[in-house]
Structure 1
Amino acid sequence: MSPRQDTRQLILDTALRLFEERGYARTTMRAIAEEAGVTPSNAYYWFASKDELVQAFYLRIQTEHAERAAMALASGLPLTDRLRAVEHAFLDVIADYHGFGSAFVAIAISPESPTHPLSESSAPAREQSMAIYREVVAGAAPRVPDKVRDILPELLWLCHLGVTLFWVTDRSPGQERTRRLVDATVPLITPMLRVARLPWGGAVVDQVRGALAVAMERAG
C-alpha cells in the first residue's frame, strides 16, 4: 500500500472509531483530522464529507464480502448452501464493526440520509452487493427456475438487509443469534422455488415482483 493510500485508510479507520465512540452527529471532519494526525485540508482532500467516509466504508465492506463470497461460490452447490455460505461470509467481514453499526444505524435508516442503503449515493456499494446475490442465483445447481431468476437476487438482497439490521441490534456474544437466524431462514427459499415450478406459480411470482418494485424504490 502506498503512503497516499495509507493516509486515506488512516482517515477512514479513525472516522469509524470516532463515530463509534462519539456518535456520528457529534463527530466533525476537523476532529477526525486531528485524531488521525493530518490537517483538515488533507482530510477533505480524501473525503469531502462524513457521508463520503461512510460510502467508502460501504465499498470496503462490499469488496471484502465479494472476495470471501467468491471462494464460497467457486463450485456449483444448491442455492441454499450458496446463500448460507455467502451470508456467513458477510458476518465474518463485519464482525469487527458491530460498535460502529450500532452507533450509526439511526442515521443510515433515515430516508433523507445519503447513507441510506437505497439512496443514490449508496448506488455503487448497493450494486456491488447485489452482484454477489446474482452470482448466488446464477451458479446454483440445480438451476433456479426461469420464472424467478430475474427477481430472486433482489429478494435475497433485501433479506440480506434484514439480516444486517438484525445483526446491528444483536447483543448476543459474537452476534451468534444472527448466525442462527441465517441458518433458520435460508431453507425458507426452497418452498418458494417449488411454487415457482408449479403451473400457477407465475401469478405468485408476479405478485412478488410487484412488491419488490415498491420495496426497491429509491430513497431521497
Structure 2
Amino acid sequence: MTDSATAKGEQTRELILSTALRLFREQGYGKTTMRAIAAEAGVSVGNAYYYYSSKEHLMQAYYDHLQEQHREATVAILAGEKSFPKRLTGVLRSWLEVSEPYHEFAGTFFKSAAEPKSPLSPFSEQSRPAREASVETFRQVVEGSDLKLPADLRAELPELLWLMQMGIVLFWVHDDSKGLRRTHLLITSTVPLVDRLLRLTRIPGVRGVVTDLVGVIRSIKTA
C-alpha cells in the first residue's frame, strides 16, 4: 500500500470516528446506527464496516483516542510537579477536561458500558489496552512523586488509583452541576484524604494492616 493510500485510509478512519462521536452526542449512542454514521460521513456502509466492525468497535476506538488525549494532557503535569496530591489532582482534572465534550451522551453510553459482559465495560478484555494505558499513567503519578510507600502497596497503587478514577467517572456521568462543579469538588476533597491515608501506611502499627490489605487485593485479582 502506498503512503498516499495509507494516509487516505487513516483520514477516512478518523472521519468515521469523529462523525460517530458527533452523532452519539446529538442522538445518543443507542439511537445511532452504523448506516447513519456512514451516510453522515459520506462513505458507504461497507466502507464504514471495513474500518469499524461495529458500534462497539467505534467506542473502543474512542476509548483509545480519549486515553491518548489524556496521556498528552498529563505530560506537563507529571514533568513539572513532584507533590503526589498535586500530580494526582492534575491527572484527574485533565481527564475531566478532555472528556468534557462527551459528557452529554455519557449517560446513554453508560447504560451499555455498565453491563458486566459488554465489550464496552472498562473491565472487559476488549478495553484492556485503554485500561492498561490508564493504569500506566497512574504508575507515573506514583513513581515520579514524593510519596514513600511499602513496596507491595506501591506495586498495587496504580491500579487502585485507576479504580478511584472509575468511581469519579461514575459520579461525573450523573453530575448535572454547572461546569461540573460537584465532580471538581469531589476530586479536590478526596485527593488530600487519599494522600494522608497513604502516608500513614509507613507507621509501624499500620504496616500489618497494609500487608493484609494488599494480600486481599492480590487474592481477588488471581481468584
- TM-score using structure 1 length: 0.91
What does 1:1-220 align with in structure 2 at a 5 Å threshold? 2-210=7-215, 212-213=217-218
Alpha-carbon spacing, 1:107–1:211, altered in 2? closer, same or farther (3 Å): farther
Paired with 2:40 and 2:196, the residues of 1 have a C-alpha distance of 52
Paired with 1:125 and 1:15, the residues of 2 have a C-alpha distance of 19
Task: State the superposition RMSD in angstroms.
Answer: 2.1
Contact 1:20–1:103 at 8 Å: present in 2 too?
no
| 3-state DSSP of counterpart to 2:169 | helix
Kindly state the Cα deviation for residue 196 of structure 1 after the two structures are TM-superposed.
Answer: 1.3
Contact 1:16–1:100 at 8 Å: present in 2 too?
no
How big is each residue's C-alpha offset from its partner over 1:45-80, in whole Å with a ceiling of 9 and x where there is no partner? 110111110000000110011111111000351211
Kindly state the Cα deviation for residue 213 of structure 1 after the two structures are TM-superposed.
Answer: 4.6
Amino acid at match of 1:133: F
Q: Identity percentage over the alignment?
A: 44
How big is each residue's C-alpha offset from its partner over 1:18-47, in whole Å with a ceiling of 9 and x where there is no partner? 223333233221121112111011101110
Contact 2:23–2:37 at 8 Å: present in 1 too?
yes
Paired with 1:114 and 1:217, the residues of 2 have a C-alpha distance of 21
Contact 2:23–2:32 at 8 Å: present in 1 too?
yes
Contact 1:118–1:217 at 8 Å: present in 2 too?
no
Alpha-carbon spacing, 1:127–1:177, altered in 2? closer, same or farther (3 Å): same
Of the structure 1 ranges 144-153 and 90-99, higher mean CA displacement relative to structure 2 is found in 144-153
Contact 1:118–1:216 at 8 Å: present in 2 too?
no
- TM-score using structure 2 length: 0.89
Kindly state the Cα deviation for residue 141 of structure 1 after the two structures are TM-superposed.
Answer: 1.4
Paired with 1:142 and 1:213, the residues of 2 have a C-alpha distance of 22
Paired with 1:118 and 1:40, the residues of 2 have a C-alpha distance of 30
Paired with 1:16 and 1:188, the residues of 2 have a C-alpha distance of 36
Contact 2:149–2:202 at 8 Å: present in 1 too?
no
Q: Which runs of 5+ in 2 are unaligned?
A: 1-5
Q: Which runs of 5+ in 1 are unaligned?
A: none
Contact 1:10–1:36 at 8 Å: present in 2 too?
yes
| 3-state DSSP of counterpart to 1:197 | coil
| 3-state DSSP of counterpart to 2:117 | coil
Paired with 1:214 and 1:57, the residues of 2 have a C-alpha distance of 32
Alpha-carbon spacing, 1:211–1:160, altered in 2? closer, same or farther (3 Å): farther
